[in-house]
Amino acid sequence: MIERTKDPEFYELKIYIIGELFDLMKYQHLDDFLNHIETLLRGDKNVFIYNTNPIKLAMVIIDILHKIKSKFNISVFRTNILKHEIEELTKKVIRNISDSEELKQLLK
């Protein structure tokens, strides 16, 4: 399932589905997922560039990171770092949107 999220289409839906399957995750699945999120945030194919609604995607990922932090206590530091990176990228996206109507659409 995590392998399928490597395609840039429909990231928020794919990550939402992974979040719905969260209760079935073991630590190895969690580690693979976090590695993939780190790659998406730091790599050349930044997830926010290839997504139609990067703000919504950021909120979905932050919600899943909160669930991860609650269930897997050993990943608190790692999830906090990812959350901070997502927040910074989201701020950049918001600053780069010059049209207020476009920003309103993204915030819906």
pLDDT tens track for 41-87: 876 667 776 677 788 888 888 888 888 888 877 778 888 999 999 99
Nearest-angstrom CA–CA distance, 1 and 15: 10
**Where in the sequence is the domain holding 65, given as residue range(s)?**
3-107
Q: How many domains does the chain have?
A: 1
In terms of Cβ atoms closer than 10 Å to its own Cβ (0-12, 13-18, 19+), residue 56 is middle
Phi-psi region of 10 (alpha: psi -120 to 50; beta: other; left: phi over 0): left
Supply the pLDDT for residue 83: 92
Strand extents, DSSP E, the chain:
none
pLDDT digits (tens, 9 = 90+) for 1-20: 555 555 556 677 777 787 78
